[in-house]
Amino acid sequence: MPDRAKIEKSVRQKSLEKVAGKIAVCQKCRLSKTRDKTVPGEGKVGAGYFVIGQGPGANEDKTGRPFIGRAGKLLTELLALAGIDRENDTFITSIVKCLPTPPINRKPKPDEISACHGYLACQMELVGAKRIILLGDMAFKKFFPKDKFSDWRGKWREKEGKRYFISYHPAAGIRFVKFKKILETDFVNLYLKGRSSV
C-alpha cells in the first residue's frame, strides 16, 4: 500500500501546479496586459525554505522562471553559504507574478500586490515551509507593513508559527559591492542562527 505521506505530498504538488496554471491565465491587474510570461515560482512541496522576492525581471519575464539572471546566480551562491540547496530545498517566488512595467523593473503597486495575494498565500500553504526568506523591502513590507526593514535586516523573527529571515534583494548586491558583502554576512548568519526548526 502506498505511503500515506507520499500520496499527500503528490496531491499537494499537483495542487501547486494548478495554482501555476491559474496564474498563467490571470487577468486580475494591469500587469497581465504587458507581461510576456507569468512567473509563478519554482520548487517542491515540502521544501525547507520559502524564498520571496519583489517581482520578476526582464529575464524572468522571457522565460517564466524566477531568479535566473545575475541576481539569481548570486541568490544561489548566497543560499549555498547558508547551507541551503536551491534545487532541492527551496520554493522561490515573488510577491507579484508578472514583470512590473512601465517603466521596466519598477516597484509593484499596492493593487498589483493585492491581486497576487491569494496565489502567494496558497503557494505558502501547499509548500508548507516554516522558514521564509524575505528579499528586499517590498517583500518585507508585505508581511510586516508597520515595521522598518532596517530594524530587522539580517535577523530572524517569528509570526504565526513561521520564522522569517530578512535581507536585501540580491539585485542590490549586483549593483553595489558593499551590499553584496552585507548579503554574504546575512546568509552566513542565517546558517549560524537559523538551523533550528520552529
Give the Å distances, CA to CA, from 78 to 109, 114, 165, 190. 28, 29, 13, 10
Q: Which of 26, 28, 30, 105 is nearest to 61 (CA)?
A: 105
Confidence (pLDDT) at 194: 67
Confidence (pLDDT) at 58: 94
Confidence (pLDDT) at 3: 84
CA distance 180 to 163: 23
Confidence (pLDDT) at 15: 97
Indicate the class that CATH gives domain 4-193.
alpha beta
Mean pLDDT of 12-21: 97
Confidence (pLDDT) at 195: 57
Buried b or exposed e, range 155-177, using 16+ CB within 10 angstroms? ebeeeeeebbbbbbbbbbbbeee
Q: Which residues pair with 93 in a beta bridge?
A: 52
Which amino acid does the sequence have at 77? Answer: E
Sheet of 90-94, strands arranged across: 42-43, 90-94, 49-53, 131-135, 162-167, 156-159
Which amino acid does the sequence have at 149? Answer: F
